[in-house]
Structure 1
Amino acid sequence: MGGCRGAVPRGGTRSPATARAVGRGGRSRRGAWTREEAHEITVAERFRGQGYGRATMRACVETARELGATSVGLHVLGSNGVARSLYTSLGFAEVGVTMSLALDAS
């Protein structure tokens, strides 16, 4: 999670308790590739709309740069319009589509 946990929007403040409550962002390296993957970017509901998601993603991207990555990838549900808008505003582009088939439990 290096560089992604407890990111604070510009002008914001952070205490250790707030950092844990606000959210988190994880990352992993894909083998020998120079692509980093952002994982589990979450912001606690009471902190949404205050810039914490944007600050967390910026921290993740900066960490990837520092590690020598040439790209950052992530997965987001098609129905999560707020997150998709955030990622698009940060320069992420849709490069694929995942499809699924729901199976009956019977």
Structure 2
Amino acid sequence: MQVFTERAVKIIQEIPAGHVMTYGQVASAAGNPRGARQIARILHSMSAKYDLPWHRIINAQGGISTPSDREEKGSLQRDLLEAEGVGFMGNGKVDLTVYRWFPEEEFM
């Protein structure tokens, strides 16, 4: 596994319940500030194998990024986040000033 991928997996595994990170934030913390799409690929291909809390990763606007043909997954993601205590604003987005998690320096 590449160093970036290994770091990203570790960071995602460490996100505590009730908190979120953005794709770009994980990428930056893992060493590639422009690697947000790589985080999406990691989540898609490695979530089951590494038991990643994929639902805790959202977009930079605080929204759930789900392709229109997979709307049920977006609904599941929202349900999982709400079950952990993450609140959604009236516009359907998470307030990142409240729920965003910042990893410890060890990941940086």
- Which TM-score applies when normalising by structure 2? 0.34
Which one has a bigger Cα radius of gyration? Answer: 1
- Report the structure, 1 or 2, having the larger helix content: 2
> Going by fraction, where is strand more abundant, 1 or 2?
1
